[in-house]
Structure formats: C-alpha cells, structure tokens
Chain A
Amino acid sequence: MGTTQSGIHRGRLAPAEYETNFSDLHPRLDDHEALVAADRCYFCYDAPCMTACPTSIDIPLFIRQISTGNPIGSAKTIFDQNILGGMCARVCPTETLCEQACVRNTAEHRPVEIGRLQRYATDVAMTENQHFYERAAHTGKAVAVVGAGPAGLACAHRLAMNGHDVVIFEAREKAGGLNEYGIATYKAVDDFAQREVDYVLAIGGIEVKNGLKLGRDFTLADLTANFDAVFLGMGLAGVNALGAEGETLPGVVDAVDFIAELRQAGDKASVPVGRRVVVIGGGMTAIDAAVQAKLLGAEEVTICYRRGKEHMNASPFEQDLAASKGVMIRHWLQPKRVIARDGHVAGIEVEYTEMRDGRLVGTGETGALAADQIFKAIGQTFEAAGLGLLAMAGNRIAVDAEGRTSVPNVWAGGDCVKAGEDLTVTSVAQGRDAADSINRMLAAGAQPSVAVA
C-alpha cells in the first residue's frame, strides 16, 4: 500500500501510518506525570511566567492546585484569564513565552512543563464537563462579534458572562477560526477545536451565525445600526503572493489552504501531496505545512527561507520538530521562478540572498530545487470589505490599548489588528480585554470617546 510516484497524489502511505503520523504530538499527562511535573514549580512570587503570558494566567497558582490534587480548581484559575486555555495549552509557543521565563531555566536549563500542565488541568475539567461561569443578570444589550476565532470567542464569552446578548457572524462553515482551520492536525486531535467552541458557548447567550461574511452579506454600518456594540475579530483573509513567475501554476498552493484541508479531511489519506515539496516561508505556517506534508508521505520536503535561522518566526522548538520529521530547512534563499513541465510544477528556481547595508538583496547566484508541489507560507494579509471609514494602521485595523477603533461602539482584536504577535493567546487576550472595555461602556450607558480619529 502507498506510493512513491512523482506528482501530487493521495494515499502515499499505508492507512495505519496516517493514524500514527497525525496522532497527538504531546499526549495529555496522566495524573502521576502531572504531579511530578507540578512538583517542580517553585511558586515564584510575581512569577516571570505569569508576566510572560499574554493572558496573564496565574501559573504558579494553577500548578499548585494540580499538585494538591485539585485539577478542577486549577482549570478555573486558567479559564478565569483565558477561556481558550485548552487550545492555548496545545498551540502556544510556550518555549518563547511562559516556559522561557521559568526560573528553572536559570537553575537547570529545563523549565516546568507549563503548557502540558495547563493541558492536563483544562482537559480534566472539560472531560468532566465542568463549567465555571454563569451569566450575570440580563442587561438587554446586544453585541455583534465578527469572526468566531479565538478573539471573537473570548470576547463573546466575556460579554455573555456580563449579561449581554452576543451574535457572532462567522464567514466559514464552522466556528473556531484558525483553531479549526489553521492549526496543525497533530496539535489539536479529536476535534478539540469544536469541542472547545461548544464548551465556550455552553455559557449561553451567544448565537453563532455561520456563512455570513462581512462585506459580502452585511456591512459594519449594518451592525452598528442594530447592535449596542461591535467587535471585529475576523483575522487575516489574504495571503501574500510570492511575486515569482509561474505562481499561478497548478501545484502552487497557499499553505493555509493545505493546512485547512488537512484539518477538515476525515481521512487524511484523501489529501494529496507531492513527492517533492518546497515550502516558501519561515514562520509557524511554513513549519506546519512542511511537517504535515512529510507526515502525508512526501519523500522530500524543503523549507526555503530568505533570511537566516535566527530571523525565522518559527520558534527553535518548531524548527527542531520539523528537523526531527525529516524536513530540510534552508536559509538565505528566495524564490525567483516556478519551473513548469507539462503545465505543472516541476521545480522552483531560487536565488541566494544576503544582507547588504542593512537590506536583503539577491546575490545573483541561482539554483533549482525539484518539486511537485510548492506551498506559499510568506504571511497573511488583512483583507476585508464593508468597513466604511474605519481607520487602519500598518494595513490592519487601528485600535487603542483597550481595542477601541476609530468608529464609535466598534472594537477590534486578534490578527486583524496590529498589536503584538499573531498568536492564539494574544488574540484571546485582546478579545477578552475588548469585552471588558465594551462592558464598561455598556454599564456606564455612555457613549465612548472615539479613540482613533
């Protein structure tokens, strides 16, 4: 079973291999493992890990609760700050956030396994269907949320908690945003993204309307006319182009589409992949696409990044993961031209690059890499319609510290605003904080001042 044929084919592996390859990357710690891991936490004061967490989860407290046999209380500590703590435990680059700040690094170069402990506690609570939040008295206020991704869900949950009614407008078929469509399969197995959506929505007072897209089915003005407040959390819909000849050839694919297709595929064997794959980019998306191409049975997968290792957005942990799966990462190479044969991709011509006077330039030296399939993973762009006169900053929505946009009663957060890193956890923090800001406004019954003129 399986095939090593050149070209883009499905079913490259034997059926059992798919199951192994796409199983949980870091399975949940069992009770004993969790106790051992939790024992290592020093319960630091004003803990650096907590400061490093974009959602400011009280990490020493939740770990102490695990160590005293109270995973449910631990989960509540996590959810109090981050209702999507379950997914963040799976996808956060902890090695550059909480775990990088862990004082155990100083002592012995090995941090407390904060991410896995967070997963343990949240998994226990979600498996036991423990819910911690009830809605406050109904306020009669209604808030529209655009996008059911991490920012929108976090915002909606906090608003519902405060007694407001929420309607989420989601363009895609399912809620979850990048948690559902943009995360590598092995990081969120067993339909976790949807289970988490259900868990968040269980608070009540949140209606999700799928298949409704801003700019196509409604405008921002429609929302401001019909709701007391609006939160925009629709993420990034566009993908950067390579700017290389042959980009439109069959076999040149957006990495985000490939990742989404794989996530949605019930049978991973049904997703076709090239024998030789080249991924252009240096971020998490590039790594996720490259690793999964390899796991689908691609024989040779190469990431080409136009700068050095130290410039890659993908964390060292992710780079190591890719290397361990057999992905080759090459640096200082930029795409010049997609090479075609019989109307299909046959390879890519690349040019070496270097930094000259602080600028990245091609050296003129070129070479070719054979490829049946090329994934573009060079960043996503903000792309939206129906926003009216909403002010932008750096090609994304301009907001103030509380998430207020230039339009009265309209807030925004997540990847569609330019603030912080494009991380799930950052989006959750922004959605949550915007909800608090909206709540303050609604509670005061006052008109907010326009933040961005």
Chain B
Amino acid sequence: MADLRNNFVGIKSPNPFWLASAPPTDKAYNVERAFKAGWGGVVWKTLGEEGPPVVNVNGPRYGAIWGADRRLLGLNNIELITDRDLYTNLIEMKQVKMNWPDRALIASIMVPCEEESWKAILPLVEETGADGIELNFGCPHGMSERGMGAAVGQVPEYIEMVVRWCKQYTRMPVITKLTPNITDIRKPARAAKAGGTDAVSLINTINSIVSVDLDSFAPNPTVGGKGTHGGYCGPAVKPIALNMVAEIARDPETYGLPISGIGGVTTWRDAAEFLALGAGNVQVCTAAMTYGFKIVQEMISGLSDWMDAKGHRNLDDICGRAVPNVTDWQYLNLNYIAKAHIDQDACIKCGRCHIACEDTSHQAITQFVDGVRHFEVMEDECVGCNLCVNVCPVENCITMVGLEPGTLDQRTGKPVDPNYANWTTHPNNPAARQAAE
C-alpha cells in the first residue's frame, strides 16, 4: 500500500490533495465537509484586511465551456476574496483546525501592498493555529484593479518585497501563489525565492472571457448587461499549469523550490502528472465545484493503486521524476523516428485519421485499399506527427511506433541513425554553421 502522506514545507497532511483557496473553502461548513470527505488539506478562501469586507456581484459569477455530453472543461469566475468579516473567518479557522489536527489548514491572504497591512494581519492568522499562509498574488479580476492580487504578482519586485515582510512578521511557512498572466513564470518565482518564500503555488486563474451571449452581445457571465474578464480554471488550463510548474522546477535559479501544483487537477492522473513535473502536492478547486468533495476518493485510490502497480512507495518516489525529461526543443533528438500504426482490429473506420492527415497534414493515411474502406498508414509519407493518434476516437487504436536504429525510414529512404543529434548541430541551423566556421 503506497504511502500518500505529504510533507510540504513542513506542513503535514494525510494525502497530497488540498482544496485550493476558492469558494469551496470559504467557511467552516464547507471545510468540515471537505475534511470528512477525505481532503488532505485546505487553503482557506483568501482573507482581506480588517474592516468592511469586499462585496461580490449579485448576478452570475461563473461562466463555463463544455465538451461532449456537457462535461465541464473550463470554468471562469469573477468572484472576489472572501466577502465575510475577517474575524468570522479567523474564529472558524481556529475551530476547524482544532477539530482536524491531522489536516493541513493554510490561510490565503490578500491585503494592500503596504507593510503595515501585512504586519497587522499576520499575527491574527497565526493565532488561529493555521499551518501556513499562502500569499494571493494571482487573483486577476476586481482585486487587481485595487492594486492587489495579480497586480502584485505581475511585478517581481513587489512579490519579493511582500514575501520578505511576511517572512519577517510570521513564523508560519509562506507559500507564494503566482499568477499565470505574465510572459515568463520564472521571473515571479525567482522573486519569491529571493524574498525568502518557502514555496510557490501555481497557477492562479487565467484572464479570460469564457463566452459571449449572442443575444445581448455581452460577455458571460453577464451582470446587468455587462461582463468583465474573469479567472479561467478547470481541466482546460491544466496544460498551461503543467508547463509553468515544469519551467520553475527545471530553472537552475529556482531548482528545488517547493511547488504546490494547481490548475485543472481533476483525476489522480492529473495529480500524478503535476507531482512528476516537480510539484510537492496539488490543489484542487474546479473538479470539486463540478462534482462535489467525493471526487477526492477517486484521486486517493487512483494515485495509491497506480503507485502500488508501479512500485512507488511514497510521494518522494515520484515527485520531480519527469523534470529531467523536460528540455528545450533544440535538444530533442532529430534522429528519433516514429511512424503511426493503426490497429485494424480496433479501427472502427470513422475516417477521421484519414481526413485529418489528408486535409491538414501529410497525406499519409489511405482511405481505400483495393476499393475497400481501409485506413492504413503509408510509411513513406508519415512524418510521425501524432495528429491521427490525437483525433482517433478509439483509445490505443493508433499508436506511434519508434523505428529501431538501422531500420529503413521509407520516407527518407535512409536508415535510422542510432546517434543522438539535435538542432544545435544540424547543418540547416545557421547558428551551428557559424560555430563550425
């Protein structure tokens, strides 16, 4: 039985599945239900400074895009930080932490970018017994207009400054939550590290207009005839999040900096992928908002069963395992050659591989063979692009098969070179040519 216990910057939880700071963690009622369902930890919905709380819109706060069968693929929200009184939250947090000492409870915080504001709130949070704090530098709507959230997260100097204040005024571990609404995620991560952060968490939501109401000609969600950009999350953002996590994990300047992975984690498999790319644990929101807290049971059993099957004993066995295999394009082996292969027994003859290849790629898949509808890869045309694999509706029907070194590549008429060779030394690369000269 795999050991799923998680130790993230000293914060212990029975499993690596935390609920992200968001509506599901806004009050004790929800968090109690989450812990009962089995979540390892929660990041309480972001606290603001003392005084009248923020207000939310009273119309729709969410928009979505769907896949087949109306499966939710992407969610967008325009909700702000908690709209409840600071002390109400603090009292509830303290009680919940007492009720659930084995679970992680993190306070997400967003106050104005002034030293006094942070200095004021940190002792209040510390008094709750929370295990750590997460600095919300990511919220892309509403709060950023007031100089908080993403407005801080988009300026590395501010990140470093605020992190430094926090490290100065609290003993609690500091997790810096990063916004993806920047051009290079390594810059804010480096700044957080420079400020002394214990970890980063990412990604926060992505600026987005999820759809437009074509009757009112207003963005969704539409509030009284107008809409605004919101924060995009859910399964659709996972690839963006994975890349950003990997960029930080493999950046020499931030190498080893603990990462809490966030962004579209919906199944155990998603979680395992984040862990493999260097995340120490994961945070989940949209999946819970779509299906309820029970989904954590699938995540726990799925991850555990997979680890058992593969012989991974604990999370350390898998964390970061894929990081060494993330590289720049220029280092990919140009002598590796693969061809698509269609399993004729599995093929249902929908023809999608053919038309995708014929219309948009390399004309390498037949439609008829001897007058019969038959889809087969023409190896002399196949460049191994993988598009057919991706459009095929039957899992494992089309696979990419790497050619053994020495075998003939029918497309080029040359044998497969066993040696590794990449773009940096390729004769077509002007830079390589200059270097040679």
Residue ranges of A at the interface with B (Cβ–Cβ < 8 Å) = 35-36, 39, 42-48, 103-104, 106-107
Contacts and interface: CB of A to CB of B under 8 A. Distances in A.
Contacts of B69: 36, 39
20 contacts: A36-B69, A39-B68, A42-B350, A44-B349, A44-B350, A44-B351, A45-B350, A45-B351, A45-B354, A46-B355, A46-B367, A47-B350, A48-B349, A48-B373, A103-B348, A103-B350, A104-B348, A106-B349, A107-B393, A107-B394
A45 B366 CA distance: 12
A48 to B, nearest CB: 7
A102 B29 CA distance: 50
A42 B355 CA distance: 13
Contacts of A47: 350-351
A36 B71 CA distance: 11
B352 interface: yes
A42 B352 contact: yes
A106 B348 contact: yes
B349 A103 contact: yes
A342 B69 CA distance: 64
B70 interface: yes
Contacts of A46: 351, 355, 367, 373
Given A36-B69, A107-B394, A44 B352 contact: yes
A403 to B, nearest CB: 27
Interface in B382-415: 393-394
Interface string B348-365: 111110110000000000
Interface of B: 68-70, 348-352, 354-355, 367, 373, 393-394
Contacts of A104: 348
Contacts of A48: 349, 373
B351 A107 contact: no
Contacts of A45: 350-352, 354-355, 367
A43 B352 contact: yes
Contacts of B70: 35
B268 to A, nearest CB: 25
Name which of A36, A39, A44, A104 has the most chain B CB atoms within 10 A of its CB: A44
Give 7 closest A-B pairs by Cβ, nearest first.
Answer: A45-B351, A45-B355, A106-B348, A103-B348, A44-B350, A39-B68, A103-B350
Given A45-B355, A106-B348, 8 more contacts: A44-B351, A45-B351, A45-B354, A46-B373, A47-B350, A48-B373, A106-B349, A107-B348
A103 B350 CA distance: 6
Contacts of B352: 42-45
A67 to B, nearest CB: 8
Nearest to A51: B373
B56 to A, nearest CB: 30
Contacts of A44: 349-352
A48 B347 CA distance: 14
Nearest to A39: B68
B432 to A, nearest CB: 41
A47 B354 CA distance: 12
Contacts of A106: 348-349
Name which of B349, B350, B354, B373 has the most chain A CB atoms within 10 A of its CB: B350
B77 to A, nearest CB: 24
A68 to B, nearest CB: 12
Contacts of B349: 44, 48, 103, 106
Nearest to B70: A35
A48 B374 CA distance: 12
A323 to B, nearest CB: 30
A103 B373 CA distance: 12
B72 to A, nearest CB: 14
